[in-house]
Amino acid sequence: MSQTDDLKTQNSIAENLTKLCEWSVRLSIGDIPKEVLKYAALILGDNIAATISAANEPEVHAYHQQLMNSPQVAQATLLCQNGPQVSMMNAALGNGLAITWNELDDGYTKTAVHPGALSQPLILAAAQVNNLSTSDMLRAVVVAYEIGTRFARTWPQTLPRLHPHGVFNAICAAAGYAALLKFNTKQFLQSITSASTMVSPGPYSHPIQGALIRNAWPAAGAWLGYFSCEMALVQIYGLPTGPYDVFEKGFGASSNPEQLGIDLGSDWTITAGYHKLYGSCQHTHASMEGLEQILTTYPHLRGGDEIQEVLIEVSKMAMNFNNAMPKSTLAAKFSIPHAVAATIVHGAQARENFLHTSMSDQKIANLRNKVVMQELQNISAWPYDRPAKVTIKLKNGEKIMQFCEAAQGSSARPLDVQMVLHKIKFLSAELAPNLCDAVIALRQIIDEDQLESLKTSDWINSFFRA
């Protein structure tokens, strides 16, 4: 790129980022359509349920105990059994560690990013500490999502080398916190440009290989996003070129600057995401669903005794998830061979597919070695860009094929409201028995224009009442 083109790109990024921040600051709760707010409430409930579902995982439980035992002022809720109160940052860190642990949080697939998981732990904690209403809280949820998705669409070429939980963590968290506390445009822009210098270059190879530190990147982002905002308030901030310097020069990703400022207030990206039915990387879902369709038609194939080979044809990106010998539950969640084998043994929706017990399941281990992966040609554009073709070869020579164009729960085949509510109830019934009802109630008061009357703290505390 010539020096002139380089300068044009920098100026375009700065211009569009300023436009995005100005829009975010001006946006009122009344500017957001009720259907968008109701969808935001559903996403929030889904992510809270995902967080709660991980509370008893050994590593998460151990960290929560560490947080609860530290000296602190009780300010915000740790999303685990009985909803203990801890400091604001301890709540954000503890919930940030748990929110993606079981791979059940929502996401956005036009360009891979999880703005909800990266922003909502801090938003919920800060809303409680500042005694803010659910109106302020939901506005921040929407703003953080819109900023996170637009950053990811501006620099999509960070994939597949770097994971979005790292490269967008601080930005999403800072956007949510700045929106929640209603920063002015100067403060908002300084917070975002500073946060862009604090993002984590988390390698995508880490989750594939099972490095659990990947699950900590949302928590790290909560701290870094908060710190970026606090620094902006005392006039400590970076340069306007921060996003360009980091993403373009540092990460080597070319940019689409117009994506930062395009269709603001008309294209609500929070409505274009996905919800997960299976606790694994979304790239595994089409393979699991296609396989489950075969097994439903041919139930005698469950268990895998008659199967000689399973050919899985997927996108170029999904070919990265080919680890046939995962060493941790995280690696299993990012392994198509493991997802396929576990589906054959237990069924696609079985909870045990990606838990610790699955790692020592000999049937699953044997079947992983029978999975062959090939790149599928002529992939369609989004939202049909994550298909899978499954071909089972039986020991008698027979072949059975099933094609899944897009998995259920994806933007192409979204779950209806009742299905998401069912998932929320299923995941949270034991530890937060009233979460599903609380989400339903929140959606109801959106219709009634009563968000200002309900404090975020009261709403969160209601989860744990039987």
Residue 441 CB-density burial (10 A; 0-12 exposed, 13-18 middle, 19+ buried): middle
**Domain shared by 321 and 259, yes or no:** no
Final residue before a domain boundary, out of 349, 378, 404: 404
Does residue 198 sit within a domain? Answer: yes
Residue type, 395: K
**pLDDT for position 5:** 80
* 372: three-class secondary structure by DSSP: strand
**Domain shared by 268 and 342, yes or no:** no
Q: pLDDT tens for residues 118-160?
A: 999 999 999 999 999 999 999 999 999 999 999 999 999 999 9
Q: Which residue in 78, 169, 152 sits closest to 118, CA to CA?
A: 169
In the predicted model, is pLDDT for residue 356 greater than 90?
Answer: no
- Mean pLDDT in residue range 404-426: 96
**Domain shared by 225 and 98, yes or no:** yes
In the chain, the number of structural domains is 2
Q: pLDDT tens for residues 54-73?
A: 999 999 999 999 999 999 99
**Domain shared by 252 and 297, yes or no:** no
- Mean pLDDT in residue range 241-247: 95
Phi, psi of 458, deg, nearest 5: -65, -40
**Domain shared by 360 and 241, yes or no:** no
What's the Cα-to-Cα distance from 18 to each of 12, 216, 275, 310, 373, rounded to whole Å? 10, 30, 31, 50, 44
pLDDT band, very low/low/confident/very high, at 6 (cuts 50, 70, 90): confident
- Mean pLDDT in residue range 263-288: 96
Map 245-314 to HEC letters. HHHHHHCCCCCCHHHHCCCCCCCCHHHCEECCCCCCCHHHHHHHHHHHHHHHHCHHHCCCCCEEEEEEEE
Considering only residues 3 and 457, tell me which one the structure prediction assigns the higher pLDDT: 457
**pLDDT for position 1:** 60
Check residue 455 and report its DSSP letter: B
Dist CA 401 CA 390 (whole Å): 6
Radius of gyration for the chain, computed over Cα atoms and rounded to the nearest angstrom: 22
* 382: three-class secondary structure by DSSP: coil
**Domain shared by 308 and 266, yes or no:** no
In the predicted model, is pLDDT for residue 294 greater than 90?
Answer: yes
Does residue 109 sit within a domain? Answer: yes
- H/E element holding 128? helix 115-129
User: If you average pLDDT over every residue of the chain, what do you get?
Assistant: 96
Does residue 425 sit within a domain? Answer: no
Token readout for 352 is 């045990």
Does residue 250 sit within a domain? Answer: yes
Does residue 417 sit within a domain? Answer: no
pTM of the model: 0.96
Please state whether the peptide bond connecting residue 387 to the residue before it is cis, i.e. omega within 30 degrees of 0: no
Cβ atoms of 202 and 167 closer than 8 Å:
yes
CATH number, domain with residue 334: 3.30.1330.120
Q: pLDDT tens for residues 22-59?
A: 999 999 999 999 999 999 999 999 999 999 999 999 99
Q: Are strands 76-77 and 85-86 parallel, antiparallel or unpaired?
A: antiparallel
Does residue 98 sit within a domain? Answer: yes
**pLDDT for position 466:** 64
**pLDDT for position 12:** 95
- Mean pLDDT in residue range 104-124: 96
- Mean pLDDT in residue range 268-286: 96
**pLDDT for position 61:** 97
CATH number, domain with residue 33: 1.10.4100.10
Dist CA 452 CA 298 (whole Å): 53
**Domain shared by 264 and 293, yes or no:** no
Q: pLDDT tens for residues 419-444?
A: 999 999 999 999 999 999 999 999 99
In the predicted model, is pLDDT for residue 99 greater than 80?
Answer: yes
Does residue 409 sit within a domain? Answer: no
Dist CA 32 CA 41 (whole Å): 13
Cβ atoms of 440 and 462 closer than 8 Å:
no
Does residue 235 sit within a domain? Answer: yes
Final residue before a domain boundary, out of 368, 387, 404: 404
**Domain shared by 196 and 53, yes or no:** yes
**Domain shared by 131 and 182, yes or no:** yes
In the predicted model, is pLDDT for residue 98 greater than 70?
Answer: yes
**Domain shared by 225 and 312, yes or no:** no
pLDDT band, very low/low/confident/very high, at 351 (cuts 50, 70, 90): confident
Domain that holds residue 305: 282-404
Final residue before a domain boundary, out of 383, 404, 425: 404
What's the Cα-to-Cα distance from 385 to each of 110, 145, 334, 382, 388, rounded to whole Å? 9, 22, 18, 5, 10
Does the CA dihedral 36-50-226-14 come out positive or negative?
negative
**Domain shared by 81 and 167, yes or no:** yes
Contacts of 458 (CB under 8 A, 6+ apart): none
**Domain shared by 261 and 292, yes or no:** no
**pLDDT for position 161:** 95
* 411: three-class secondary structure by DSSP: coil
Residue type, 333: K
